[in-house]
Structure formats: structure tokens, C-alpha cells
Amino acid sequence: MSRRSVLLFICLVLASIIIQVSLLPVFIRPPFKPDLLLVIMVFIALRESFEVGAPLAWLLGMFDDVCGGLYLGLNAFTFLISFLVIKSVSDRLYADSAILFVLTVAGVTLAGFTLNLLLILMFTASPGIIYSMLSDIFPRLLVNAFIASIVAAFPGFDCQLESQ
């Protein structure tokens, strides 16, 4: 990654966290809050190299955990697993496709939900959370896909981030 890309990435992550923690809760109800860090992670998984992307995906998950919930490492684990799965197939796909990006974000939202649920049920003592998660998953899936479609509509979306 170039210095400019690193700076852009840091600004993007910071802006996403601030928007999600302080701005969006004022205007929209929790189930309709998008997971912007997940969208960034999917973008990285489709575009970046394995060496750079894997630690970044884990870091993004850690940011998600620091700013939400009680269990540090929960989303970090989920993001890393999701990254590895996407990376393992992304070389065989046309990664610049907007539709693929939207579908991948939707898929990762579902996969992340399942993994999180499994981890919470296995390692924590809050079984009741399954009802909250189940009631939230459908709006969350739609909102994340919507945000992904907005990102895909940005000019320059189909440009490569780095020369391979």
C-alpha cells in the first residue's frame, strides 16, 4: 500500500467509527445501523493482497469490538475468517464487479452473524442474545448491501488499488 492509501484508509476507518458510534444512533434505530467496517473489510478482501489484508481485517474487527459489545476479539475473529474465505476464492473471480461486491457484503453479513452467534453461545452466558440477533439480521443484511451498492457506485470503484 502506498503512503496515500494508508492515510486514506486510516481516515476512512476513523470516519466510519465516528459515524457509527456518534452520528447514526441519533437518526436511525439500531437494527438499521450499517456495519461500515465490515464493508471496508470486504473491499480489502477483494482488492488487497493476503499479507496486507489479513492483519487489516483482524484490526478492523478489533475496532468493531472496542466500540461495541463486551467481548474483545469476537468480531476480529469473524472478520479474519471471513477475509480468509473471500481471499481463497477472490483470485478466481472478477473482483472489480459491483454486483459481486454487494453480494459478498451480504454473504459476509450472514456468515458473520452465524459465526458470532456460535461463539457467543459457546463461550458466553447470554443465550437470550439470539433473539436480538435474529430479529436484527434481516434489516442489517439489507442495510449493509445498500451501503455496499453505494460504495460500488462511487467513481473509480473498478480501479485496482495496487499493481499486482
Site for another protein in 35-54 (CB under 8 A): 35, 37
Shortest distance (Å) from residue 71 CB to another protein:
9
Indicate whether 136 belongs to the interface with another protein (CB under 8 A).
yes
Interface with another protein (CB under 8 A), residue from 98, 133, 141, 161: 133
Helix (H, G, I), strand (E, B) or coil at 36: helix
Cell of 151: 460504495
Q: What is the 3-state secondary structure (H, E, C) of 37-54?
A: HHHHHHHHHHHCCHHHHH
Out of 45, 48, 64, 80, point to the residue binding another protein (CB under 8 A): 64
| Contacts (CB under 8 A) with another protein, residues 8-27 | 17, 20-22, 25
CA dihedral 99, 91, 1, 146 (to 10 degrees): 20
CB 34 within 8 A of CB 144: yes
- CB-nearer residue toward another protein: 131 or 154: 131
**Position 53, amino acid:** G
Closest CA to 91 of 50, 31, 142: 50
Write down the least CB distance from residue 100 to another protein, Å.
25
Where do contacts with another protein occur on this chain (CB under 8 A)?
17, 20-22, 25, 30-31, 33, 35, 37, 64, 67-70, 75, 116, 124-129, 131-133, 135-136, 140
